[in-house]
Structure 1
C-alpha cells in the first residue's frame, strides 16, 4: 500500500470530487440496504402476517431499532389497510420499494460521475508529471534505457494505475458501507443467522488473498514485456530504411513475435489468476447461502422463531453482501497489479537528476570574455574518454576540434552544454564555473547544431519557434535566408507553414541541416557549438551549409567539432585530439607545416 499512498498525493487537487463521491456512496449504501428492507412490509401484507398494532410504538434506543422498525411498519400497514384497503396498501408498499431502488441507483450514478473527474484528473496529472520528469532527467539517464519502456510507463502503466488503484478509492467507501449497513439490518432481523456471514467474510478473504499472492510479480513481468515490444516497434519505425535495405524484415519480425509471445504467455497467466477472484468468491457465497437456507429454513418451518417474510428479506440481504464482497476481493487483485505499475511509474518520478542547479544558481545574461576548460577528465562508464584536457576559447574566436572517431570531440560539446558533468576539473564562462550557472541561462547562451538534424513532426515555422517562441514571421524568414534555407522553403506548398513530416523526412539531408542552422540563427546566441554539422552531406549541400555556417559564425564565439577538415581551415585555432588528449594545436597552415597528426588527417581526407 506504500505506492498507493504516494499515488494518492496526485488526488489532492480533486478532493472536492472525492468528498462528493463519498457522500453519494454513503447514500448509495444506505438506500441499497433499505431497498431490501422495504420489501418486508409488502411481504407482510402478502402473507397476511402483519400484527395489528393500533398505537405508535416507542423508540427505546439503538439496540431496539429492529423491533421498533418492525412494530412501526406493522402500525403503518394496519392503518393503511383500514383507510385504503389491502390492494391500495400493497401499491404504496410497491411504490416505496421502487423509490428506494431509484434513489440507490441515482446515488450510484452520482458517485460514478464524481469519481470520473478524480480518476481522469489524476491520470492527466500523473502523465504530465512523468513527461516533465522525462524532459528534466539528464541525457545520461536514457543512454541505457529503452525508449519503448519509458513510453509504456507513461501510457499503459498509468492507465493500469487508473483502473486498479483509483477504482479502490471508490471501493474503500462504498463496498464496506454496503456491507456494514446490510449487516446492521441483518442483525436487526436475526443475530443467529448473521453469525454465518461473519464467518464467511474472513474465510473467503483468506482464500482469495492466497490466490492473489503472486499477482504483483506476474503483473510486473507483463508490463516489462510491453515496454520491450514497444521498444522494438519504435526502433522499427526509426530504422525502416535499414530494415528494408538489408532485407532484415525476418529478423525484426522474429524479435517482435518472440516478445509478443512472451507477453501472451505472461498475460494469460496473470489474467487467469485474476479471473479466479470472481468465481471463487461467488462459490463461497453460494455455499454460505446454502447453509443459511438450511439453518434459516429450520427456524421458519420447525422452530417457528423466524417469520417467512423476515427470512426472505434476510436472504436478499445476505446475497446483497456478495456483490461488495466480490468487488473487494477483485480490488485486492487490483492493488497487487496496481503496485507493479505504480512502482514502475514512481521509479521515474522519484529518480533524482544527477545534473541539478545549485541553490541560488547565477542567472547569466551575456558572454563577455572567454570560455575556459581547465584540466577536465570525464568518463561515461569505466574508462576516461578525456584526460586532463585544457582549452581556452576567447570571445569572437572560432576553435575547431578534430581527430579520429572516439577521440572525445563530441564529449566536449556534451560537457559545454552540461548534458553531462565533468568528473574532474572545471569548465567556466567569464570565470564562472558552469555548475554555478542555472542550466536555463547557460543554454540561453548556446546555440547547437548537431550532426543528426533533429527536427519535429510539424511545420517549418513550428520547428524554428522551438528556438524563440516569440519570433515574428520576418525574423523566421531572415534566419532562413542566413541559413541558405529560404531558397527551398519559399517553394514549399505552404511556405513556412508546410508540414515537414516525422523527423523532417519530407526534406533532403542538406535541407534538414539548413533548417537546423536557421533554428540556431533565430535563437541568436553569443556562443555556437557545431557538432560535425556537415559530415553527412553531399558536396553541393555541404557548400550551401558551410556558407550558412560561416555567415552564422560571423562575430560569434564558436566551438566547431569537425569531421571534414576542409570546413575549418579559417578557424582561429585548430585543436587535434587523440584518445582524449590534445596532441597538436595551432592554425591550419602552422599544423600542416609541422607534418604531424593533423597533416596525416588532411592527407587521408584528400586521398579519399
Structure 2
C-alpha cells in the first residue's frame, strides 16, 4: 500500500492473472496495485487513504475487543484453577497422617496454601494467554518477513539464538533463588504461628527479646533472598530489550545496504514494512522472555505445592476395605510393636478389651499409654502385630467407619473458633438443640453455657480462648457424649478439671460408660478405681493388671503410684 500510494511503482490498471505472475508475492503485490489505483481513479487519493485509516482503526478495535474477551473468559479458568489447587491441598492436609506434621512446621504448610498458591497465580496463570497469543504473533510476523525477504530474515535468525541463550542463562538462577524466598517465608510464618499458640509461655519466661531476634534474623534472610531475586528479575527487561535493539540495529544496517543496492529487489517502502514486522517480533519476544523469568520463579512455588499434593498418606484404606460392623464382642490387641523414628514405645504388647468393660491404662509418662489410643483409632499403624475389632483386623476396615464407632476426649481440649453448638455437634451434625443441651448437662457444662450471652450459639474464640481450662474440657466431653459411640477413648479426660468438677464429671462419665466399651488413659488414679481392669504399664510392657483393690494388695508398682499421689 505504501509503495503504491507513494508512487514508487508503476501504476497498474489491468488486472494480472495468477498464471501470468512469476510468484505468489508478485501476484499479491500487483493485485493490490491494481485495486488501489482503480479506486484512486474512481474516488481519489484522499478517499483511498481514508479507507486505509478506517481499516487500521477497525483492526485495532477488533484486537482490543478480542483481547478483553480473552481476559474475560480466562479469568474463570485462572480463578477456577486456584480454587481447585486450594481444595486439593486442603483435602490432602486433612488426609495426611499425623506423623507428617510432626516433621513439618505448620507455618510452612500454611505458607504453601497461601503465598505459594498466589505465586503460582502471578507466575503461571496471569500469563497463560501470553503463551498462546505471543507465539502466534511471532509466527505470523516471521511468515510475513520471509514472504517479503527471505535473505534478510535468514540474517535475523543468526542473532536470535544468541540472544535466547543469554536470556536463558539469567533465568536458570531464578528458580533456586525463588525457592530460598518461599522456604524462608514458610519459616517465619511458622514462627508467627508458634508465637500465637505459645504467647503465654513466651511472656511468662520473658522470652520476647529472644523470639524477636529469631524472627528478625529470619526476615533479614528473607529480605536478602528477595533482593537477589528481584535484581535478577529486573535484569530481564533491560537485557532482552538491549539484545532486541541490537538485532534491530544490525538489521537496519544490513537491510539499509540492500535498499541502497538497486539489484537486491528491496525498496524503501517494503523495508519500512519489514522493520515494522521485525519490531512486532521484538515486543512479544520481550514479553515471553519476561514471562519465562516469572515461570522460573513460580516453578519453585509449584514444586512446594506439589510436594504436599503428591505426598501419599502412609495410613490408607485397603483396596478391599469393608465397613466396620457394629461393635459387639471385643477389641483385641495382639503382639503389637511400635516405635516413633528409632525409639521403641511398644514391644510385643497384647491386650483384650471386652465389650461393655472399662479398661484403664496407667503408668509413668512415656510408658506407651497414649500410643495405644493412637493405634486403636488408627492415627498411626502398628509396625508388627494386629489390632482387631470383633475379630476383623482394623487395617481391613475403612478408617471412617472405624472412627465413627469411637468417641475421643483428649488431654488438651481441642476446640475451634466457632460457637459452642458447632463445637459440640462435630460428630453429629444433625443433632437438635435439645440433644446438645442434654450432652452439655451430662458433661456438667450446661451450668456455665446457659449463663453465656447467646447460650449454645456463643462463639468461644480461637481454641476456646474465652473459656477456662475446665470449661473447655467439659465441652470436649460433651462432644463425645453427643456422638454416643459404642467405644470411648478417654486420654487424661479429667486432668484439666478442678476437684469438684472432676467428681461431678467423673460420675457423668461413669454413667455414660455403662454398657459401653471404654479405654481410659489416666494420670489421676482416683478417676479409675471403678474400672473393670487396670493395666499398669512400664516402658511399653504390662507389669501389673487387675482391679483397683487387687493391685493395692499386691503392694507393687500400682501401689507405689497411688502412694505418690497420696490417694488412700
Range class of TM-score, shorter chain: over 0.9
Shift of 1:64: 4.1
Partner residue, 1:75: 34
- Call closer, same or farther: CA 1:295–1:406 in 2, change over 3 Å: same
Shift of 1:82: 1.7
Partner residue, 2:355: 395
Matched, 1:247 2:206: yes
Task: Identify the match of residue 495 of structure 1 among 455, 458, 466.
Answer: 455
Matched, 1:452 2:412: yes
User: CA separation in 1, counterparts of 2:330 and 2:504?
Assistant: 30
- Call closer, same or farther: CA 1:78–1:575 in 2, change over 3 Å: same
- Call closer, same or farther: CA 1:159–1:68 in 2, change over 3 Å: farther
Task: Identify the match of residue 103 of structure 1 among 62, 67, 70.
Answer: 62
Shift of 1:225: 0.9
Contact 1:50 1:77 in 2 (8 A): no
Matched, 1:581 2:546: no
Task: Identify the match of residue 49 of structure 1 among 8, 11, 26.
Answer: 8
Matched, 1:280 2:248: no
Q: Report Cα offsets for 1:353-402 as digits up to 9, x if no partner.
A: 21111122121131101111112111011121112211111111111111
User: CA separation in 1, counterparts of 2:186 and 2:368?
Assistant: 33
Contact 2:473 2:496 in 1 (8 A): no
Matches within 5 A, 1:182-201: 182-201=141-160
Partner residue, 1:475: 435
Q: Report Cα offsets for 1:152-209 as digits up to 9, x if no partner.
A: 2212222222333335643432221111100111222222322233123211111111
User: CA separation in 1, counterparts of 2:21 and 2:308?
Assistant: 53
User: CA separation in 2, counterparts of 1:64 and 1:279?
Assistant: 41
Task: Identify the match of residue 78 of structure 2 among 100, 119, 124.
Answer: 119
Contact 1:200 1:285 in 2 (8 A): no
Partner residue, 1:343: 303
Partner residue, 1:260: 219
Q: Report Cα offsets for 1:303-331 as digits up to 9, x if no partner.
A: 38433322222222111111111122223
Contact 1:378 1:424 in 2 (8 A): yes
How many correspondences in the alignment?
567
Partner residue, 1:227: 186
527-536 vs 117-126, which moves further? 117-126
Matched, 1:525 2:475: no
Contact 1:483 1:552 in 2 (8 A): no
Contact 2:135 2:284 in 1 (8 A): yes
TM-score normalised over the length of structure 1: 0.89
**Secondary structure at 1:276 match in 2:** helix
Task: Identify the match of residue 52 of structure 2 among 77, 81, 93.
Answer: 93
Contact 1:65 1:188 in 2 (8 A): no
Contact 2:415 2:464 in 1 (8 A): yes
TM-score normalised over the length of structure 2: 0.95
**Secondary structure at 1:440 match in 2:** helix
Q: Which runs of 5+ in 2 are unaligned?
A: none
User: CA separation in 2, counterparts of 1:184 and 1:71?
Assistant: 20
Q: Which runs of 5+ in 1 are unaligned?
A: 1-40
Matches within 5 A, 1:490-569: 490-569=450-529
Q: Give the RMSD, CA atoms, in angstroms.
A: 2.1
Contact 1:514 1:548 in 2 (8 A): no
Matched, 1:595 2:555: yes
Contact 2:552 2:559 in 1 (8 A): yes
**Secondary structure at 1:214 match in 2:** helix
Shift of 1:59: 4.3
Task: Identify the match of residue 89 of structure 2 among 119, 127, 130.
Answer: 130
**Secondary structure at 2:335 match in 1:** strand
User: CA separation in 1, counterparts of 2:219 and 2:28?
Assistant: 60
Matched, 1:379 2:339: yes
Partner residue, 2:99: 140
Contact 2:444 2:501 in 1 (8 A): no
User: CA separation in 1, counterparts of 2:38 and 2:504?
Assistant: 101
Matches within 5 A, 1:410-429: 410-429=370-389
User: CA separation in 2, counterparts of 1:196 and 1:267?
Assistant: 40
Partner residue, 2:369: 409
Q: Report Cα offsets for 1:516-556 as digits up to 9, x if no partner.
A: 11111111100000000122333233234323322322321
- Call closer, same or farther: CA 1:104–1:239 in 2, change over 3 Å: same
User: CA separation in 2, counterparts of 1:262 and 1:83?
Assistant: 74
Contact 1:45 1:90 in 2 (8 A): no
User: CA separation in 2, counterparts of 1:54 and 1:449?
Assistant: 96
User: CA separation in 2, counterparts of 1:346 and 1:146?
Assistant: 17
Contact 2:4 2:11 in 1 (8 A): no
56-65 vs 553-562, which moves further? 56-65
User: CA separation in 1, counterparts of 2:395 and 2:137?
Assistant: 59
Partner residue, 1:206: 165
User: CA separation in 2, counterparts of 1:381 and 1:62?
Assistant: 83
Contact 1:50 1:78 in 2 (8 A): no
Contact 1:403 1:577 in 2 (8 A): yes
Contact 1:378 1:384 in 2 (8 A): yes
User: CA separation in 1, counterparts of 2:503 and 2:14?
Assistant: 107
**Secondary structure at 1:212 match in 2:** helix
**Secondary structure at 1:387 match in 2:** strand
User: CA separation in 2, counterparts of 1:63 and 1:284?
Assistant: 38
Partner residue, 1:318: 278
Contact 2:363 2:536 in 1 (8 A): yes
User: CA separation in 1, counterparts of 2:450 and 2:23?
Assistant: 88
Task: Identify the match of residue 84 of structure 1 among 23, 29, 43.
Answer: 43
